[in-house]
Amino acid sequence: MAEQSGTMESSFANDNIRAERERMNELIRQKMLVELPAASARLGDRGIDPRPIIATDYEGNAMSVAQFYLMLRAYSVTEKAGQEPTYKAARVAIVSDLSPRVRDAAFVALNQQSAEEAGHGDKVFGAAYYEMGGIAPALLTEDQLNSGGDFLEPVADPAINTQKVLDLMAVLGGVETLALERAFPIVLDACARWSHPLAAQLIDQVNHNVKPEEARHVLTWRYLFHQGVVPRGEEAIERYFMLTNWGRDRFLAPRMERREFERHMKASCPTAEQLIGRPLPVSI
């Protein structure tokens, strides 16, 4: 289907994404409830008291150390899930009809983002989860984060490849802004109230590695908007806005108002160097 339509429309067509995610999250919540005693025992084995209340979740419920531990599973798999689509999108970008300079910047930025998302998943949140007793958190079917099919396979028409890259970046922009606004503050708040050496380490890693990298991913969202979307006109802008909110709906986050979207975009277009974090051509 995606191949036939040539765009990611069929992948993002689900109008009921919020209802669907609420249903899936409830199933995950129930699974985690069942998992809680074993998780608490693992924490106990590591000399970590699972009981202290250290945070408030998205719904305003008190969160214990054990629940925070289970939340790290979700952070780890969600971050890791960003690896494959960005890796694929980088390769679609080089067979797009974006201008050569934008194509190069998109390739390097998305390829780098792929590595960084894997780093957040495996190196930061996955490592913390392991440190607390779990091993390499696995996806649950209810996470619905398995490979999204073939919509990021390049096609013969470079204009369609451009659309694929722009569509993906719009969704990612929604997710990245959400991560910065909501996901990381919860981790930082919890760690600030949890007296354990791991909490200090997580605060340091989130502040010094994860947040700056995600902030650069937001710059890529803005860069491709200016370079790829604006030249295509009002309809393309509307689509980018709509898919940004699809990304936020996917994680049941508050929608981004049009005014806020415009405020993000009104700031001047970032340079390619800003989104990559170092000058092009790339040197290690």
Which of 100-107's residues contact partners 24+ apart within 8 Å by CB, and which partners?
Answer: 101/272, 102/223, 102/224, 102/227, 102/228, 104/272, 104/280, 105/223, 105/227, 105/272, 105/275, 105/276, 105/280, 106/165, 106/220, 106/224
The CB-of-238 to Fe ion minimum distance in angstroms stands at: 27
Separation of alpha carbons 84 and 170, rounded Å:
16
Residue number, 79 or 249, with CB nearest to Fe ion: 79
Report the C-alpha gap between 194 and 200 in whole angstroms.
9
Cβ 124 to Fe ion shortest distance, Å: 9
Measured CA to CA in angstroms, residue 154 lies from 78, 103, 157, 162 at distances of 24, 14, 8, 9
Question: Any contact of residue 79 with Fe ion (CB under 5 A)?
Answer: yes
Cis peptide before 281 (omega within 30 of 0): yes
List 73, 120, 196, 222, residue binding Fe ion (CB under 5 A): 120
User: Residue 282 Cβ, how far from Fe ion at the closest point, in Å?
Assistant: 20
Nearer to Fe ion, 39 or 253 (CB): 253
If the CB atoms of residues 46 and 123 are measured against Fe ion, the closer one turns out to be 123
Nearest Cα to Cα of residue 227 among 277, 172, 162: 162
User: Dihedral, CA atoms, 280, 79, 269, 208, nearest 10 degrees?
Assistant: -70
Can residue 80 be called a binding residue for Fe ion (CB under 5 A)?
Answer: no
Shortest separation between residue 237's beta carbon and Fe ion, angstroms:
26
Closest distance to Fe ion from the beta carbon of 211 (Å): 9
Site string for Fe ion, 20-59 (x = CB under 5 A): ----------------------------------------
Nearer to Fe ion, 50 or 174 (CB): 174
CB 275 within 8 A of CB 216: yes
Residue 248 binds Fe ion, judged by CB under 5 A: no
Supply the minimum distance, in Å, between the C-beta of residue 44 and Fe ion.
30
- Please select the residue that binds Fe ion; options are 117, 126, 247, 270, rule is CB under 5 A: 117
User: Of the two residues 79 and 167, which places its CB atom closer to Fe ion in the complex?
Assistant: 79
| Tokens (6 digits) for 2 | 């995606």
Taking the least distance from each CB to Fe ion, the nearer of 213 and 249 is 213
Q: Are 42 and 132 in contact (CB under 8 A)?
A: yes
Q: Binding-site residue total for Fe ion (CB under 5 A)? A: 3
Binding site for Fe ion (CB under 5 A): 79, 117, 120
